[in-house]
Each structure stands twice: as C-alpha cells, then as structure tokens.
Chains A and B, each alone.
Chain A
Amino acid sequence: MTATVPATAALALGDDALVLSHRLGEWAGHAPVLEEEVALANIVLDLLGQARVLLSLAGDEDELAYLREERAFRNLQLVEQPNGDFAHTIARQLYFSTYQQLLYAELASGDGPFAPLAAKAVKEVAYHRDHAEQWTLRLGDGTGTSHERMQHACDALWRFTGEMFQPVEGLDADRAALETRWLESVGDVLGRATLTLPEGPRTGAWSAGAGRQGLHTEPFGRMLAEMQHLHRSHPGASW
C-alpha cells in the first residue's frame, strides 16, 4: 500500500457499508423469525467492520460517522432507502450485495489501496449475496402474495440501481463490465424466482450519481439523526 488512499472513494465505499449496516440494524427485534434476526445482525456486523476500515482510510472513523452532516455523506441512495417490508429489504440486499461482491472481487484482484480490505470482505459478501438470493427465490417463487410483494419491491428500488455504476473519483474499476455482469447476475436470480427484471430507467437527471454528490433522499436525514444523536448528545463520552 504505497499509493495514497483516495479519500473520495474510501468515503463512498465506507458510507455505503455504514449506512446499509445501520438500516439493516433497524430490523433488530423485528425480523420475521429468530434465525433471520441473527442473520441480519451478522450482515450488519460484517458491513460495520468494512465501514470502520474504509472510513479509517479516509480519516477518523467516529468523526466521519457521527459528526458529518447529511450533505457530506457519499453513499448510494439505494442503501439509505427505508427497510419497507421484508421484500424491500431483500431486494435492496440483492441489488447491493451483487454489486458489492463484483466490485470487491475486482478490487481484490488489483494492488490498489482497497485490495486488502476487498480480498477479505469479498468472502463475507458472498454469504450476504447468497442470503439475498435464497430469500428472493423463496419469496418470488412462493405464494401469490409473496411473489407480488417481491416483484413490487424489485420494481420500486430499480430506479436507484444505476447509480452504482457511476464513476467515483479514485475508484479504479471497469464500471461498464461491472454493470453488464450485475445485470446478468440479478437477471438470473429474478428469472429463477419467477420474477420479472424491472423495466424503466435505472438512472436519470434526478438521480445520476446523486448520493455520491451528497444529494440524498428524504428518509436519510431522519436515519442520520437517529444514528448520530447519542454521540452528539454526549461529545467525547467513552465507556
């Protein structure tokens, strides 16, 4: 690791992991079954661990997580979307973990500043993606109701998926190839789940690279307020 760490890219990847870990953490105490409660909490822990490493590459992890304003966060709008019903959470997981696995696999194969973390995290993310795939199959190819809700969730989050393939300063990855493989992989899972790959724009003037530019959707501010309030109420406190 001789090259200096590109702070913009470290923030983008770190914020994705941090924000999604917080969103998934909101399921604690609410998951449909105990095993799922534990599974989601484990994914939270993996993502939080990744976030800590990535944010530490960009600066002080606590300051970055707890003392930045909404507009300073660089995460994708996809990961800040509210959990919705369980199908929404799973659709978000499928879209994001597929992207993260492909991206980390590529970063791990290089020798850039993110290679060590990516090589480690890609193995964890493989389990996240598998978890999302199993649930997508189960819900999509389940009852009429579960199928309908899973399709609705996939459709609703579709417009946030184009942002994953926007260029990020300092992130050396073949975006076009990632996008092609992402579409193949997600399309394959949805097909086996008897679901339809959503149609419609995946990006547009209203969203192109928006989260990466610090423009976030309305629910994000409230999520951030909850995530940060304890730290801000007790500055400098320790156990």
Chain B
Amino acid sequence: MVTATALEAELLELAGSVPDPELPVLTLKELGVVRAVRVGGPDTAEVDLTPTYTGCPAIEAMTLDIERVLRAHGVREVSVRTVLAPAWSTDDITPEGRRKLQEFGIAPPRVREDSGPVPLALGPTRTHEAQSEPVRCPHCGSADTELLSRFSSTACKALRRCLACREPFDHFKEL
C-alpha cells in the first residue's frame, strides 16, 4: 500500500463529495464507492471507483461527475477506473450515510453478522424475515414491517411495507 500524498487525500475528499446520481442525499464517500485517487503527473489523476452492483447503471454518471469535479479543480487529465475487488458491501456505507438514508425515507441496510448471502425467511406468500435484527420503518420507526418484494426501484433496494403506519418503503438491502 502506497501512502497517499496530501494532494491525493484532497482529491479523494473531492471525488467523495460528489452526490450519488440515484440517491442524491448520499455522497459517494458516504456510499463507500470511491476507493482511491492516485496522482500520476503534474495534472493527471486516476480514481478507483467500485460499483454497488455489477450492473449498476449509475456507475457511468458517477464517472462523469467525478471527472467534472476534478477537472474543475484543475486536474486536466482524469481517468476513472472501475474496480471490482474487494467487492463492495453495504457495510461500506458510513454511519452518516445510514443516518441520511433513514432521513430520506429509505431503511438503511443492517450491518451483516457474517459474510455471505443474507438468509431470508421461507413462506408461501409475503414473508416476515427470520433475521435477528428487524428492518425498521423509516417513517414511524416500527419494527413490524414485512417484505413485499426482494427487488425494488433499483437493484440495491427491497420493497417493504410497515404494518404499523401502513406506508410502503424501500429498504437498502444487505449485500
């Protein structure tokens, strides 16, 4: 691991300040997807960006936004590299990011107890989950919520419903 220079740290902070194109309440730093910035020459920089999901279409918008912000800061040549390893996990979302998701009406992902796929409860119809920690309604805070669909408006979310306040809501599912 090469130690980052002050300039690299500054550019990393800058790249991380870019808002997520689909969840603009979060910055890319809070989402945990900007991995590193390397300064090559006097005004060239390479940024390592990791996708949340392999097929996440937002990665292209993120790339353009990072390039724009760093160019505006005087870095003439910016190249953004998509890196897969180590694989992104919802555990990479910062505590501040989790708080903002909740405020935005999206139940944040639970911190995973171990690695690997998250087991979901079995049931003939819509299900409650067997996982120890409940997904709380971001609106009223109730733990009495049920899964409507494992997939929602984007790949990273599941669709749930609160049984207390009856509001449907998105849950940033654990990955």
**A residues at B contact (CB < 8 Å):** 35-36, 38-39, 41-43, 45-50, 52-53, 101, 115-117, 119-124, 126-127, 130-131, 133-134, 137-138, 141-142, 192
For B88, list chain A residues within 8 Å (CB): 120
Partner of A123 from the list B87, B123, B125, B154 (CB cut-off 8 Å) is: B87
A-B CB contact pairs (8 Å), 22 listed: A35-B149, A36-B149, A42-B155, A46-B155, A49-B55, A115-B85, A117-B54, A119-B84, A119-B85, A119-B86, A119-B87, A120-B54, A120-B87, A123-B175, A126-B116, A126-B117, A126-B118, A127-B151, A130-B150, A131-B150, A134-B123, A134-B150
For A131, list chain B residues within 8 Å (CB): 150-151
Is there contact, CB below 8 Å, between B55 and A45? yes
Count B interface residues, CB 8 Å.
32
Q: How far, in angstroms, from A138 to B127 measured CA to CA in the complex?
A: 12
Is there contact, CB below 8 Å, between B159 and A124? no
- Binary per-residue interface labels of chain B (29-43) against chain A in the complex, 1 for a CB within 8 Å, 0 otherwise: 000000000000000
Q: How far, in angstroms, from A47 to B54 measured CA to CA in the complex?
A: 8
For B55, list chain A residues within 8 Å (CB): 45-50, 52
CB distance from B152 to the nearest CB of A (A): 6
For B175, list chain A residues within 8 Å (CB): 123-124
Q: How far, in angstroms, from A41 to B150 measured CA to CA in the complex?
A: 12
Of B84, B88, B89, B153, most A-chain CB atoms within 10 Å: B84
Q: How far, in angstroms, from A35 to B88 measured CA to CA in the complex?
A: 26
